[in-house]
Amino acid sequence: MVQLTEFRVVMPLSLEEYRIAQMYMVTKMQEQQTSGTEGVEILVNEPFENEEFGKGQYTSKIYHLQSKAPTWLTAIAPTNSLIIEEEAWNAYPKCKTVLKCPYFTRFRLTIETIHVADNGQSHNVHNLPNELLNNRKVEIVDIASNVRDYWSYVIGGPPVDLATFQSKKTGRGLLQPGWQSTVNPVMTAYKLVTVDVPYWGFGYRLEQLLLGGERALFVESHKQCFSWIDEWFGLSFEDVRQMELQMDQALNEALHHQHAPQIASHGLLPVVKGSTLNSSTGTATNNGMGNPKVDDRDQQLVDLQKNCAQGKIGGEKIVEPNVQMMISSPF
């Protein structure tokens, strides 16, 4: 069953400020999450133009997240297959992000974002038809909330109490209850998350875990975004774009030695032995090298479905971890 949730992230920023703040936030968080073995690999980062969005910036990335997957998933999926492929079209104030997993070929998570200069009260900024509106769930994300769960810690960064934080450069801060109705400037990122994992036996369970991961990511990343205001405030868009490009190169160098020889192209993956990448689309051709054979993968998924339905993995009862599945894209 497809899950449709609209997360409304209210921020005490103007639309133009948020454009710079978001780029700074994504760049810094990617740096924090990347080590020699796991993190973010950037394949493409270039301008684009199409009929749907007009002009903007296209990115293609890989998230290496093996250690952050729940135990029941690592019991069946090979370690080197637990990666997430991301394509993103940033045509601010509209953005779209598509996440896929090459191992679970039918998995798809889409985040469609529209940024509006309001405090989160617009009814239907995505212009959804009535059928989808009836299935949509709405969640208001309060960045001043201090409630943290497992994925808050996985995402990283020290806890931030925005009720006691105040910017030295702008004087903004001390976000007390009800701040969304009193601050000026104010804007909202309306993030429509559609997640579909059409696998019998464990699909719904994984969909709920993914939504929980997205919720925590939106809270923690936007907390950090505002708490870093004195770092990015006053920077120009060109300043932050240059910072982003320099960081892309550094992140790729940090991961290249560990991952480049091991991964075969499966949609957005890097070029390896006989695989070619189209830099304008982020897509690649695959000569069948590196990933499990299709028949083997399908059989593994059938086994996983049966075991989940029976409450078992590998003949053992599943011990439900106190964790949720995570995704590392804050767009």
Domain 3-263: CATH superfamily is: START domain (3.30.530.20)
pTM, 2 dp: 0.75
For residue 40, name the pLDDT band (cuts at 50, 70, 90): confident
Residue 65 in this model has a pLDDT that exceeds 80: no
Residue 322 has pLDDT above 60, yes or no: no
299: left (phi over 0), alpha (psi -120 to 50) or beta: alpha
Of 286, 148, 274, which is closest to residue 217 (Cα–Cα)?
148
Q: Has residue 296 got a pLDDT over 60?
A: no
**pLDDT range class, residue 132, cuts 50, 70, 90:** very high
Q: What is the pLDDT of residue 191?
A: 98
Cα separation, 306 vs 161, whole angstroms:
44
Give the pLDDT band of residue 89 (cuts 50, 70, 90). very high
Give the list of residues 6+ apart from residue 231 with CB closer than 8 angstroms, or none: 24
**What is the residue extent of each domain of the chain?**
3-263
HSE on the CB side for 49, CA within 13 Å? 1
> To the nearest 5 percent, what fractions of the chain are helix, strand and coil?
35, 25, 40
* pLDDT tens-place string over residues 262-272: 333 333 323 22
CA–CA gap between residue 302 and residue 200 (Å, rounded): 9
What's the rounded mean pLDDT across residues 282-307?
Answer: 43
User: What is residue 288's predicted lDDT score, i.e. its pLDDT?
Assistant: 33
Question: What are the tens digits of pLDDT across the range 176-230?
Answer: 999 999 999 999 999 999 998 777 766 677 777 778 888 888 998 999 999 999 9
Taking the C-alpha atoms of residue 133 and residue 120, their distance in angstroms, rounded to an integer, is 16
Pick the closest to residue 303 from 294, 292, 293, 315 (CA basis).
315
| pLDDT > 80? residue 141 | yes
CB 11 within 8 A of CB 226: yes
**What is the rounded average pLDDT for all residues in the chain?**
76
Over range 234-254, report the average pLDDT.
Answer: 86
